[in-house]
Amino acid sequence: MSSIDYGERIPNNVGLADDRALQRALEHWQPRFRDWWREMGPEGTAGFDVYLRTAISVEQGGWAHFDYVKMPDYRWGIFLNPAEPGRKVHFGAHKGEDAWQEVPGEYRANLRRIIVTQGDTEPASVEQQRHLGMTAPSLYDLRNLFQINVEEGRHLWAMVYLLHAYFGRDGREEAEALLERRSGDADNPRILGAFNERTPDWLSFFMFTYFTDRDGKYQLCSLAESGFDPLARTTRFMLTEEAHHMFVGESGVGRIIQRTCEAMVQQKVDDPAKIRALGLIDLPTIQRYLNFHFSVTMDLFGADVSSNAATFYSTGLKGRFDETKIDDDHLLAGATYPVLEVHDSRLAVVQAPALNALNDKLRDDYVKDAVAGIERWNKIIDKSGVAFRLRAPHKAFNRKIGPLSAVRVDPEGIVTSEADWAQRHDAWLPSETDRAFVGSLMGRVAERGKFANWIAPPARGINNQPVDYEYVRFN
């Protein structure tokens, strides 16, 4: 069993005690991380006792220990999946070679860039969510928010370990910079656009954890295929925690839908204005929020055709989703993949070299997964008898990155004019009025077993506890 020594200052299963220089470097970084957490972590929570899950081992089924913890005392640490003896590189020019335990010199800059970009998303989402505790709809939801926050903090530790352990002075400087950038800061923003957006309310939070954390799943799955073994082992362990974040998002949106549909049936109303008058979030508003978060996440996969993606694959740094389950040569020489381009004000499918279209392949894998969850939300609506269907917008809708950003595309995938976009934009994306209304519903519910009017209770509690358990104690 790969247990974690909690007697260590930095809990880990990477033998940190045997590498004094690395241990000292990370112990130097640790107080800076704690300063960042105090400044940018969940607001006003230092004294709360939170029923949190902490890793105690990295074996399947042994990694989750539940107990009350004050978040500043959470034992963030460095945990890698157990090494796989004889592991090989499965794709690209090094296919069949032993996986690398050290950074290949010629790939150093690209590997560092991949790790920094992934690492930057982790503190960014904590910063985006730092005010949400003040408006949590229940103790159950407040605890889930805090669990996600501490795990994003641990994911930051995971990337910082790799930077310190394998990239020398450059890595240490990059690790410092991860604590200096700020989500939404005009002068020193986070690297990726979606991580500079505000998350002002709980509908946004649930959409973010459903859609944007799902991008995290697909990026981590691709990195878990990496020929650089420490990165692959690190991201495999991170995926265990990422699954909980997506569950919080899917179930959160589902509970909002359930509450709205129940009231629509009881009150016999379907007019959005009348639903809002009941203090509930109407389904068309949920659709507009869905459109926004889906489209922002589409951009996280990068340009549809990318030479960087080809390089990362060919050199064995970043694979495809479920690389080892794909039945091809894992080299992609001469293979093609369909991508979208704009021709004569229309979207057209063209064949691009598969190596260059890897971002779009990953995006398409993601879309299938995301749509499956939207269908689960539709089952909640269907079950209530309400005539409404949520839909994923077209993947070219509202894009800000790549060639599709040059045109306006409606949710159906039809290229439209700037004038038409300006006129119909508020029917497709949340307006300021929508955001103000949703914001007006937000207010902390901190009584055991009570839930805000706009959301249904969950079907079950956490770790076999009842739904009305005291998940957070305000001391």
Distance, in Å, from the CA atom of 403 to the CA atom of 263, rounded to the nearest integer, reads: 43
**What is the mean predicted confidence (pLDDT) over 53-69?**
80
User: Kind and range of the H or E element at 295?
Assistant: helix 283-300
Tens digit of each residue's pLDDT (9 = 90 or more) over 354-376: 999 999 999 999 999 999 999 99
Going from the C-alpha of 344 to that of each of 206, 347, 406, 407, 452, the distances in angstroms are 38, 8, 13, 11, 50
Torsion angle (degrees, nearest 10) of CA 112, 117, 121, 127: 90
**Which residues, 6+ apart, have CB-to-CB distance to 26 below 8 Å?**
10, 16, 78, 160, 161, 164
For the ranges 235-244, 266-275, 405-414, the lowest mean pLDDT is seen at 235-244
Could you tell me which residues are beta bridge partners of residue 348?
Answer: 341
Is the distance from CB of 153 to CB of 63 less than 8 angstroms?
A: no
pLDDT-derived band at 58 (thresholds 50, 70, 90) equals confident
Is the distance from CB of 70 to CB of 53 less than 8 angstroms?
A: no
In the predicted structure, residue 247 carries a pLDDT above the cut 70: yes
Q: Is the dihedral of CA 202, 208, 209, 211 positive or negative?
A: positive
Tens digit of each residue's pLDDT (9 = 90 or more) over 256-273: 999 999 999 999 999 999
pTM: 0.96
**What is the mean predicted confidence (pLDDT) over 420-432?**
97
**Which residues, 6+ apart, have CB-to-CB distance to 255 below 8 Å?**
455, 456, 457, 458
**What is the mean predicted confidence (pLDDT) over 229-233?**
97
Which one-letter amino acid corresponds to residue 48?
A: F
Nearest to 255 by CA among 454, 445, 453, 456: 456
What are the contacts of 337-341 at 24+ separation with CB within 8 A? 337/361, 339/304, 339/305, 340/304, 340/395, 340/396, 340/404, 341/403
- Looking at residue 57, what is its pLDDT? 73
Is the distance from CB of 76 to CB of 164 less than 8 angstroms?
A: no
Distance, in Å, from the CA atom of 236 to the CA atom of 79, rounded to the nearest integer, reads: 10
Tens digit of each residue's pLDDT (9 = 90 or more) over 166-202: 999 999 999 999 999 999 999 999 999 999 999 999 9
In the predicted structure, residue 443 carries a pLDDT above the cut 80: yes
